Structure 1
Amino acid sequence: MGNAVHLEVGSEERRRLISLVMPVYNEEANLDRAYAALKAVFEGLPQYDIEFVFTDNHSEDRTFERLAVLAEADSRIKAIRFTRNYGFQRSLLTAYRHTSGDAAIQIDCDLQDPPELIPQFIALWEQGHDVVVGLRKRRQEAYLLTLGRRAFYALLSRISDDQITRDAGDFRLVDRSVINRLSAVNDFNPYVRGVVSSLAARETGIPYDRVQRIYGRSKFPLRKLMGFALDGIMGHSVLPLRLATYAGLMISVATFLLGLFYVFGALALGRSWPSGFATIIVVTLFGISLNAIFLGIVGEYVSRIYQQVRYRPLVVVESALNISVERGNAPERGVRP
């Protein structure tokens, strides 16, 4: 845990290292502002050393060029650029794998999450918490989107096989003990937020209001948010498969009872049932639709199993700054160079 890491150099205790984890994509306009704000926070925390770990998801603007300028001036900045956009979750997991700190603080480059909370995060970490998360009280977004987020987290908390913290965003502090366990995760479709919560022994949270982005646009439209929700549900629950099983059993029982009813009516009551073309078509289409839905659910899980067993690299690295990374392949199981 955070307060259990003590190494000495001579007679003096070394200063702990905090890794600042920031996945970026087309954030050229936000980099300087984020760097300056975070550096200013730690100027007020002289007892800690810091490093910046950026993972560039193959930005289409001058994000990596700007990172190169900053890295030239400050050797504490480490940056990794991928050969293509691998998605936020894989970018984030790769960033954690390349941290060296006693703890890592994940924060978005747009500073919608206030860096001023970092000292409070560290204070709770020093008290023995291995994960400290920012709990979003209010967001600057459409009401329906906020309502949808709350409904998703409520659902995920109820159906998840792991303990998932409600309303927790990506602004968090993670202790080295959790990072080591996280680095051993070899999931091709990771839901990092949920995995971190499931690996924590003592997690706590700090509520705050999220502010509006100043520069650039959000990289998470509704389509990507739906994808994250699917990753969260598929990665932390088998409920969809169970629902398919239960629904299939109920439909089978209902169909069997209906068949008995028709047989009883024909044999015991002497009724002659007219052939109903429309009824047959409706029932047939209904059965086909159910089969398609359930096969789709099963297919989602099978596709993830297929991707997982191929053992392909999580990401492929194109360039790196101030960090030794094997070109082409990032470490697979949390082995940091």
Structure 2
Amino acid sequence: MKTGLTVLVPCFNEGEQVEVAHRELVGALREIDELEILFVDDGSTDDSLDRIRRLARTDPRVRYLSFTRNFGIDAVMAAGFRYAGQPWTVQCDADLQVPPEEIWTLLAKAEEGYDVVFGERRGRRDPLVRRGGSAGLHWAARRVFGIDMPRGASTFRLVRTGVARTITDLRLPWFIPAVPLVGARYAVAPVTHRPRTAGRSRLRLARLAAHSFELFFGFSLRPLNAVYAAAVLGGALALALAVPAYAGAEAGHLVAATQLLLSGLSLAALALVGRYLHRLLRDTGRLRPYFVRDANLALRPEDTLTGGLPGPPPPGRTPGLAADESVPSRTGRE
């Protein structure tokens, strides 16, 4: 039975970190015979792709995909899991904040019969704002929105490749809560964490906030149910205030304040429903999550801009034909 491992390494403007990641991964996983290192270049504008190509020419274990532009981490995972050539895939960031040796920790836990093993970063070395934002996000997801989130799960994870493909094909906004949603067997294993050795994090607060909305509204109907409850309560309150107002009671200011409140609730409800509709339209849209410009492996036609057709250069002048020579028209008329 085939028991190899694909290491999925997302890259976006990683520069010299590409060689560092390759060297440490090969050193840590040298005992695995069927090893594949799959770099997915998310539209880098530096020399990341050139460095990956050089590695691929000297190491047959290196495979790569390069997107036509920056499509984001969800697209990287979708492509990486689709083209992974081994039955198990581990996702490992190029910054190596989790040492590659910890992959063995995940592999040992998977031997107990799990489909997915998440690494829980102990002694996390990220900035306080990043750690606090991540903890708050997971707390809100579980306690406020009722989303089943594996406690402590991170993007450093080992997955059965078939399970990963099933999840990414669902086009859900987050991978972590999708694992319990589909019923995959999962576990969380503690791993060490170290400071970034090169480059800088590209996940800013605005990006984290946007990603949070994707999580909350992509996996929970509680906000929509809260709007329904507010609408019922607001209607009851409006009715209760309308009775004394029509009876001539001095409730003018109260009625005006209530109207403002209900108007605000209506706007909030419209915005929330619009958010859900946006999510629905995006998931059912015709645009693919990514397009590949370059790769050293066989691509599916639908993943390329040309639909799998070859891309020859445009036609030039016919050799030996003078510029002033007449060319017969298609209609046969001069």
For the aligned pair, the TM-score class normalised by the smaller chain equals 0.7 to 0.9
Q: Secondary structure of the residue that 1:71 maps to in structure 2?
A: helix
Residue in 1 aligned with 2:11?
A: 24
What is the CA deviation profile of residues 275-316 of structure 1, one whole-angstrom value per residue up to 9, with x for unaligned ones?
A: 55xx66654443332222111111111112112222321211
One-letter amino acid of the counterpart of residue 229, structure 1: S
The farther-off stretch of 73-82 and 306-315 is 306-315
Between the aligned partners of 1:274 and 1:66, the Cα distance in structure 2 is: 74
Between the aligned partners of 1:324 and 1:124, the Cα distance in structure 2 is: 32
Q: Secondary structure of the residue that 1:169 maps to in structure 2?
A: coil
Q: Secondary structure of the residue that 1:86 maps to in structure 2?
A: coil
Q: Structure 1 residues 274 and 250, CA, compared in 2 at 3 Å: closer, same or farther?
A: closer
Greater relative contact order, per chain length (Cα 8 Å cut-off, separation 6+): 1
One-letter amino acid of the counterpart of residue 9, structure 2: M
State the TM-score, normalized to the length of structure 2: 0.83
Q: Secondary structure of the residue that 1:256 maps to in structure 2?
A: helix
One-letter amino acid of the counterpart of residue 34, structure 1: A
Shift of 1:184: 3.4
Task: Establish whether residue 147 from structure 1 lines up as the match of residue 132 from structure 2.
Answer: yes
Q: Secondary structure of the residue that 2:118 maps to in structure 1?
A: strand
Match of 1:244 among 227, 231, 246: 227
Residue in 2 aligned with 1:210?
A: 193
Between the aligned partners of 1:284 and 1:105, the Cα distance in structure 2 is: 55
Shift of 1:201: 3.0
Between the aligned partners of 1:98 and 1:190, the Cα distance in structure 2 is: 20
Shift of 1:29: 2.4
Residue in 2 aligned with 1:260?
A: 243
Flag the structure with larger Rg. Answer: 2
Shift of 1:198: 3.1
Between the aligned partners of 2:151 and 2:236, the Cα distance in structure 1 is: 38
Residue in 2 aligned with 1:306?
A: 281
Shift of 1:144: 4.1
The farther-off stretch of 119-128 and 65-74 is 119-128
Between the aligned partners of 1:18 and 1:220, the Cα distance in structure 2 is: 28
Residue in 2 aligned with 1:81?
A: 66
Shift of 1:226: 1.2
Q: Structure 1 residues 99 and 196, CA, compared in 2 at 3 Å: closer, same or farther?
A: farther
Shift of 1:261: 4.0
Residue in 2 aligned with 1:38?
A: 25
Q: Structure 1 residues 72 and 197, CA, compared in 2 at 3 Å: closer, same or farther?
A: farther
Task: Establish whether residue 192 from structure 1 lines up as the match of residue 175 from structure 2.
Answer: yes
Q: Residues 171-186 of structure 1: matches in 2 within 5 Å?
A: 171-185=156-170
CA contact (8 A) 2:168 2:175 kept: no
One-letter amino acid of the counterpart of residue 213, structure 2: L
Query: Which runs of 5 or more residues in structure 1 are unaligned?
Result: 1-5, 7-13, 332-337
Q: How many pairs were matched up?
A: 305
Shift of 1:140: 2.2
Q: Secondary structure of the residue that 2:303 maps to in structure 1?
A: coil
Q: Secondary structure of the residue that 1:129 maps to in structure 2?
A: coil
Q: Secondary structure of the residue that 2:156 maps to in structure 1?
A: strand
Q: Structure 1 residues 274 and 127, CA, compared in 2 at 3 Å: closer, same or farther?
A: closer
Between the aligned partners of 2:231 and 2:196, the Cα distance in structure 1 is: 46
Shift of 1:330: 5.8
Between the aligned partners of 2:263 and 2:180, the Cα distance in structure 1 is: 39
CA contact (8 A) 2:15 2:47 kept: yes
Residue in 2 aligned with 1:3?
A: none
Shift of 1:174: 0.3
Q: Structure 1 residues 254 and 52, CA, compared in 2 at 3 Å: closer, same or farther?
A: same
Between the aligned partners of 1:280 and 1:133, the Cα distance in structure 2 is: 54
Q: Structure 1 residues 204 and 98, CA, compared in 2 at 3 Å: closer, same or farther?
A: same
Q: Residues 121-160 of structure 1: matches in 2 within 5 Å?
A: 121-158=106-143
One-letter amino acid of the counterpart of residue 35, structure 1: H
Shift of 1:130: 1.2
What is the CA deviation profile of residues 245-285 of structure 1, one whole-angstrom value per residue up to 9, with x for unaligned ones?
A: 11222222222222234446x3xxxx4x3755xx6665444
CA contact (8 A) 1:317 1:327 kept: no
More strand per residue: 1 or 2? Answer: 1
